[in-house]
């Protein structure tokens, strides 16, 4: 007696399972679609803005993109700045190669101080001519000096660390009845600056005073360093 053995056709069976591949692809795409819909229902403009900045490599692309532009506009509002400041913000980001959060604080500084500053690592450095801010004969601050110090006072709330104020004198020897030597001259300038800032509400721990006489920079310069200015995360109070 012969038994009919049914032959298993592997190729036919393989073809019959091809639909599963397509089906799994469709299901995956559907899941991805719904995940995107849900995630986009609540936009995080801050994250989106940063993504555009890092991917594009140029701040101008952020402005040309709807989400990037909306993020920058919101950032200006959060920092009590106007839409008209947007172009200046982009220029600062481009010129100094800064992130938008760093550029915001530079923008605030420029509104107070103008462009008379330098960026050194994470510090902001301002150099003033001591002859214009300090009256050598009467040993007191001039009106120009007082105005500059008011601006310094207004900048301090923008960041947390101390402000270093250094005074330097030229090699020209100073020896009068009121001033012993070049070092004593810079000490008197420092005392005037220190007293002025304290009298205008600045706390002692926000000021670091250093007098150099003619030991380092051989010029009559008052150097103001806002230490760690670009490390700002949130504003502090002066």
- What is the Cβ-side half-sphere exposure of residue 73, based on CA atoms within 13 angstroms? 9
The CA angle 234-151-88, to the nearest 5 degrees, is 65
* pLDDT at 42 (0 to 100): 63
Q: For 62-73, what is the mean pLDDT? A: 71
In this structure, the number of other CB atoms found within 10 A of the CB of residue 173 comes to 9
Mean pLDDT, the chain, rounded, equals: 79
Confidence of residue 228 (pLDDT cuts 50, 70, 90): confident
In this structure, the number of other CB atoms found within 10 A of the CB of residue 155 comes to 23
User: Mind spelling out the 3-state secondary structure of 144-173?
Assistant: HHHHHHHHHHHHHHHCCCCEEEEEECCCCC
* pLDDT at 109 (0 to 100): 87
d(Cα 55, Cα 16) in Å, to the nearest integer?
45
Residues 6 or more apart whose CB falls under 8 angstroms from that of 136 comprise: 185
Contact indicator for 135, 141 with CB cutoff of 8 Å: yes
Whether 13 shows a pLDDT value over 70: the answer reads no
Most confidently predicted of 17-21, 76-80, 185-189 = 185-189
Confidence of residue 60 (pLDDT cuts 50, 70, 90): low
Contact indicator for 132, 144 with CB cutoff of 8 Å: yes
Q: For 182-202, what is the mean pLDDT? A: 91
Confidence of residue 58 (pLDDT cuts 50, 70, 90): low
Whether 195 shows a pLDDT value over 90: the answer reads yes
CA 41 to chain CA mean position, Å: 31
Domain ranges of the chain: 42-115, 116-238
Instruction: Read off the DSSP letter of residue 205.
Output: G
CB-based contacts of 200-204 (< 8 A; 24+ apart in sequence): 200/149, 200/150, 200/153, 201/153, 201/238, 202/153, 202/156, 202/238, 203/238
Domain 116-238, CATH homologous superfamily name and number: OmpA-like domain (3.30.1330.60)
Whether 38 shows a pLDDT value over 70: the answer reads yes
What's the alpha-carbon Rg for the chain, to the nearest Å? 32
What percentage of residues in the chain have a pLDDT greater than 90?
Answer: 17
């Amino acid at each position: 007696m012969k038994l009919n053995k049914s032959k298993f056709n592997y190729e036919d069976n393989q073809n019959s399972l091809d639909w599963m591949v397509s089906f799994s692809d469709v299901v995956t795409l559907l899941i991805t679609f719904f995940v995107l819909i849900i995630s986009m229902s609540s936009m995080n403009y801050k994250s989106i803005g940063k993504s555009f900045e890092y991917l594009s490599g140029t701040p101008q692309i952020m402005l040309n993109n709807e989400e990037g532009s909306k993020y920058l506009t919101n950032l200006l509002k959060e920092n009590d700045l106007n839409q008209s400041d947007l172009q200046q913000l982009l220029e600062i980001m481009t010129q100094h190669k800064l992130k938008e959060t760093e550029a915001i604080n530079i923008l605030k500084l420029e509104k107070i101080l103008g462009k008379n500053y330098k960026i050194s690592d994470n510090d902001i450095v301002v150099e003033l001519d001591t002859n214009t801010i300090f009256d050598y004969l009467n040993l007191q601050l001039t009106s120009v000096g007082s105005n500059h110090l008011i601006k310094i006072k207004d900048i301090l709330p923008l960041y947390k660390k101390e402000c270093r104020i250094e005074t330097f004198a030229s090699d020209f020897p100073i020896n009068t009845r009121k001033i012993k030597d070049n070092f004593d001259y810079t000490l008197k300038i420092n005392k005037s600056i220190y007293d002025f800032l304290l009298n205008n509400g600045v706390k002692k721990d926000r000021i670091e005073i250093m007098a150099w006489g003619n030991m380092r920079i051989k010029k009559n310069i008052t150097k103001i360093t806002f230490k760690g200015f670009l490390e700002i995360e949130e504003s502090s109070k002066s």
